[in-house]
A = this chain, B = another copy of it.
Amino acid sequence: MARSAGPLTAPYLKLKAEAHHDLGSTATNDAIIQLVLIALHFLSSDCTTVPLKSRVPGKRYYSYALKTNTSAISRPVNESLFEPAESVISTQWKNRSTLTSGELTKMVYTMATAYSVASDLFDRNNKKGPATYLEQLIGHIFACELGKNPTKNATLPLEKGIKVRMTMDFIFDLGKNRPKVHLPVKSSTRERVVQAWAHQRLLDKAYGEGVYKAILVIHSETKLDLRTLEVVEIAVPDQWLAYQSLLATMERIYYLDPPDRYLALSEKYPIIQLRQFGDFFSECKDLLK
């Protein structure tokens, strides 16, 4: 049973059903943009913006709040990455093959954020809804670009003929002579992100390195202090270096709102290949051939 999210409940349930039935389908495509447009409309008509104090150099953030209750605010929105105009997003989504990487990143950031922000205003404790939605959005985009639907079940052969099944994030089988794709999708990496590297290590050890290529997609690393209205960005570069060097290798890490500290880390240590999400569209063919 989905928690109530006002005008978003019905289109969210519709998307859930379509995504479950066929993640890469036109019906899922339509359900996603429908939900996003309803969320953007709700934000522009029923909500107001609340400025936040950004402690992140070079980035400005605001929250949304219901006009009828400005004390309860949403998660932070990156001003330069969020496009509130429905018509812009609707047109871009239809013509996404014509967009630059920066435009694609901004479009997907907006689509990923609009529903989550609106959901916050109905129930700030509902973390599962926005997380599931982000998975569906990114999973759909991958399914379209790769021409295949993913599964969430991995079968791992152990010793002595034992096989175990494990639920993972998305797994795409692209067919003979092509790498398989392991796609973890996370709202942020503060908690449990080690799981993405650990799952990749399970796949590497069970099937051999290189059989599965790992691509980690993350929304952002912002943290809002509801008391002071300050936004900070959390980065744990040492942990990432350790995971990437000693546990398993993520072929790419894509961010919708890339933290500058991670971009700098990636530049200094090429073992970490971090990009804005829009780059995926142009490089995915080369990456996964």
- Which residues does chain B contribute within 8 Å of A192, judged by CB atoms? 191-192, 195
Q: Are A156 and B194 in contact (CB under 8 A)?
A: no
A residues 181-214 near B (Cβ < 8 Å) are 191-192, 194-195, 197-198, 201-202, 205-206
A205 to B156 Cα, complex, angstroms: 21
The interface centre, meaning the residue of A164, A195, A271 with most chain B CB atoms within 10 A of its CB, is A164
- Which residues does chain B contribute within 8 Å of A246, judged by CB atoms? 156, 158, 201-202, 205-206
Expressed in whole angstroms, the minimum distance between the Cβ of A240 and any Cβ of chain B is 9
Chief secondary structure at chain A's binding surface:
helix
Q: Which of B159, B195, B198, B242 contacts A156 (CB 8 A)?
A: B242
Q: Does A232 contact B (CB under 8 A)?
A: no
Expressed in whole angstroms, the minimum distance between the Cβ of A204 and any Cβ of chain B is 9
The 10 closest A-B pairs by CB, nearest first: A164-B238, A205-B246, A198-B198, A158-B245, A202-B246, A194-B198, A164-B242, A156-B242, A164-B241, A194-B195
Expressed in whole angstroms, the minimum distance between the Cβ of A188 and any Cβ of chain B is 15
Number of A positions contacting B (CB below 8 A): 27
The interface centre, meaning the residue of A197, A206, A241 with most chain B CB atoms within 10 A of its CB, is A241
The chain B residue sitting closest to A271, CB to CB, is B159
Q: Does A141 contact B (CB under 8 A)?
A: no
Known: A197-B198, A205-B246. 13 other contacts (CB 8 A): A156-B242, A158-B245, A159-B245, A162-B245, A162-B269, A164-B241, A164-B242, A165-B238, A166-B238, A166-B239, A194-B198, A202-B243, A202-B247
- Which residues does chain B contribute within 8 Å of A166, judged by CB atoms? 238-239, 242
The chain B residue sitting closest to A160, CB to CB, is B269
Expressed in whole angstroms, the minimum distance between the Cβ of A154 and any Cβ of chain B is 9
The chain B residue sitting closest to A199, CB to CB, is B194
Expressed in whole angstroms, the minimum distance between the Cβ of A227 and any Cβ of chain B is 14
A205 to B239 Cα, complex, angstroms: 15
A241 to B166 Cα, complex, angstroms: 10
A residues 154-178 near B (Cβ < 8 Å) are 156, 158-159, 162, 164-166
Expressed in whole angstroms, the minimum distance between the Cβ of A111 and any Cβ of chain B is 29
A243 to B197 Cα, complex, angstroms: 12
The chain B residue sitting closest to A191, CB to CB, is B192
Q: Which of B206, B242, B269, B271 contacts A202 (CB 8 A)?
A: B242
